Structure 1
Amino acid sequence: MVRLFTTWLVPVAFTLLGFGLNIKSATAQMIDEFSATYDVLAFSRSVTPSITASTLSGTSTDAPYGLTTINGLTYSVVDPITGFFRFNTDPTVFGLQNIPSSEVVFGSGTNKLFGTDSATGIIDFASLTATATGIFTITGGEGIFTGASGTLNFSEVDTLSLDPTIPTRARATVNGIIYVPPVQKVPEPTVTTTLLAIGLIASSFELRKRYSRNRR
């Protein structure tokens, strides 16, 4: 009987010890709302007679989490008659098969977001302005955004120039939800539960000693 009791008691002690650990749930997700406005410069070059590659760089004064910069490379095609245009970080969308895909990066410090973008817009040739709307698809990140996912909607107004040496200026508003996996914490036992578990283990050894003396 004592042996059976001891065999049962020790697993119970470790079970109680497990309940005393502070472990964050691995299934929960932290959701961060994001909203910011960026002033962007786009320097463009021709890749083919109809496809342009634009290098983007911009800053924000209201972006949270330290994501105050934006940098990237996009490819675009413009209809010179209607003014309709579209751009994408994936060059294969425009039939460019031998060029690697690019990305957009928010932030330049510890916290960063990585993503791709896709957008469409229209150019007003009379005023040399353009408007566009699109989506950033988040593919990952660094710092507090490690493993991030989600989508950010954006809209922008561009000021164009007929001089190729002068970059396009854009004011882009970005907003959406960022999903971030929880940070796994190292288990830390609480004092009360640990003492209880140790007491139960000690009791099992004492019962075993008494049982051994009684058999002599």
Structure 2
Amino acid sequence: MFDAKINWLLPVALTIVSLGSNLQSVKAQSPYNYYTFSADYTTSVTIDPSFRPDLGIVRATITGESVEPVPYGLNFFISNTYGKLNPIENPAINRYTFNSDPRVFGLDEEPILADRYYGGTNELFGTASDSAEINFAEGTIRGGGSITIAGGKGLFKNATGTITFTEEDRLNPPGTPSQGLAKLNFNLQTSQPVPEPKASITFIGMAVIGIGLRIKGHIRRKGNSSLF
């Protein structure tokens, strides 16, 4: 008698467990792909002090080539920013604040600049915010900051995230690019399609109807058998 009851309940229980597992897998799936990695680049820095000397604003361009192959082919970069000289406390040291957006420095008519990371079918685009110290006594340029990612190509289409970096360069004479090394940390994400839960809800509805019919049929059979 006990075995007979279990036999018809077992498929029902398995159906419910299966549906629950499917729902859990949909909920557990992240709507994003995440990419976290680091890379070192040899750098070449050009600073143009003739851009707006009246405001103490320069134009800076940094190009980079990876020391070793970078994940997803991002072996090169170019960064363009505006830089404003901070108040000088020590004549041997100049400190600059850099940004891709000229409006930060009150230059509303100038274009917004950008960073580009590339090397193959995948690319990243972003805007920089950083600072640097030029030490004339030591002959160095040291700085760091972050790049806000807002799009890309290939694998990084519609990517978001940040790149943080530190950099140190050997200061060369004016008119000659300064050479150095930058250490970059990438923290990126891209959206991915997530299975719609509507299908699972439909399956649950169908399963509930099926379970109801099965129980109803079982009750009828039990009632009929009691007549004999």
TM-score by length of 1: 0.69
Q: Do residues 29 (structure 1) and 32 (structure 2) align? A: yes
Q: Distance in 2 between matches of 1:168 and 1:120?
A: 16
Unaligned runs of 5+ in 2: 1-21, 196-228
Question: In the alignment, what sits opposite 1:148?
Answer: 159
Contact 1:37 1:62 in 2 (8 A): no
What is the 5 A alignment of 1:17-166? 28-45=31-48, 46-49=50-53, 50-60=56-66, 61-79=68-86, 81=91, 82-164=93-175, 166=176
Q: Distance in 2 between matches of 1:76 and 1:108?
A: 27
Q: Distance in 2 between matches of 1:107 and 1:92?
A: 27
Tell me the alpha carbon deviations over residues 69-104 of structure 1, each in whole angstroms, 9 at most, x when there is no partner: 001311112345342212111111122111110100
Q: Do residues 174 (structure 1) and 184 (structure 2) align? A: yes
For the structure 1 residues 112 and 184, does the alpha-carbon distance in structure 2 shift closer, same or farther, using more than 3 Å as the test? farther
Q: Distance in 2 between matches of 1:42 and 1:26?
A: 43
Q: Distance in 2 between matches of 1:95 and 1:128?
A: 30
Contact 1:26 1:182 in 2 (8 A): no
SS of aligned partner of 2:52: coil
Contact 2:73 2:118 in 1 (8 A): yes
Counterpart of 2:128 in structure 1: which amino acid? Answer: D
TM-score by length of 2: 0.65
Unaligned runs of 5+ in 1: 1-18, 186-216
Q: Distance in 1 between matches of 2:126 and 2:29?
A: 24
For the structure 1 residues 44 and 120, does the alpha-carbon distance in structure 2 shift closer, same or farther, using more than 3 Å as the test? closer
Q: What is the RMSD computed on CA atoms of the aligned residues?
A: 2.9
Residue 141 of structure 1 and its aligned partner are, at CA, apart by 0.8
Contact 2:31 2:193 in 1 (8 A): no
Q: Distance in 1 between matches of 2:142 and 2:157?
A: 32
Contact 2:141 2:168 in 1 (8 A): yes
User: As a proportion of its length, which structure holds more helix?
Assistant: 2
Residue 163 of structure 1 and its aligned partner are, at CA, apart by 2.6
For the structure 1 residues 110 and 183, does the alpha-carbon distance in structure 2 shift closer, same or farther, using more than 3 Å as the test? farther
Question: In the alignment, what sits opposite 2:222?
Answer: none
Residue 161 of structure 1 and its aligned partner are, at CA, apart by 1.8
Percent same amino acid among aligned pairs?
A: 33
SS of aligned partner of 1:65: helix
